[in-house]
Amino acid sequence: MFSKRVWRWILLFSVALVCSALAGVYWYYYLAKDQPVTENVANDRRVVEMAVSPEPQTDAEGDQPQVTEERFTSNGQFIAYFHNVYNESLGWGGADSINWDKQRQYAQAILNGLSYMEIEEELQADFQKIKELAELVVNRNEKARTAILLHRLFHDLDIDFNKYKHSDYFNTTEYKNGKEAAKIDDYIEAEQT
């Protein structure tokens, strides 16, 4: 039989192994699940590169993303890119102190992207809302709700269309018959008049 000393080492090794396994599970489920992944959908026009290149770079102060005038190769890439832009500029309390000059740049970049992209049929209604909200921002509508709704549309489309993993969901897309989609239409109509 083993001595007490050997049993202690076995117990110590077992505890260390269990702790390492728990740390790995925690990292995977709570930290890595929100990271973009590359997903290829065979025989589908939606071959989505969720690890969008290039990522929006931050400005000189390091607080607002700089958008590039890259040509987007897919609707999924466009969605993921601008979802990331809005996460960086409005997420984590950013909606409390909005830089409207930057928001107008982002909105203009959205409009530029939409002007040349072929939009898939099932995304037409949501991209129309995105276009109308972006036009409001470009035309100096400085209501936080306008920028927040843009962020929520990109967020939900990233989840619905790109299979982005995140626990928050706002039910804003026509793509998935979201319960809040009609409220966005009402908001846009009220702001356009």
For residue range 11-35, list pLDDT tens digits in order. Answer: 888 888 887 877 776 655 555 444 4
Which residue type is seen at 185?
A: D
Beta bridge partners of 174: none
Per-residue confidence at 9, pLDDT binned at 50, 70, 90? confident
Can you say whether residue 97 is alpha, beta or left, with left for phi > 0 and alpha for psi between -120 and 50 degrees? beta
Give dist(CA 190, CA 143) in Å, integer. 13
| Structure confidence by residue, pLDDT tens digits, 101-145 | 999 999 999 999 999 899 999 999 999 999 999 999 999 989 999
Q: 82: burial class by Cβ within 10 Å (0-12, 13-18, 19+)? A: buried
Please give the pLDDT value at position 133: 97
* pLDDT reported for residue 104: 95
- Per residue in 43-98, pLDDT (tens digit) is 232 333 333 333 455 555 555 555 655 678 899 999 999 999 999 999 878 888 89
Task: Answer yes or no: is pLDDT of 5 > 50.
Answer: yes
pLDDT tier for residue 173 given thresholds of 50, 70 and 90? very high
Domain boundaries, the chain: 4-33, 37-192
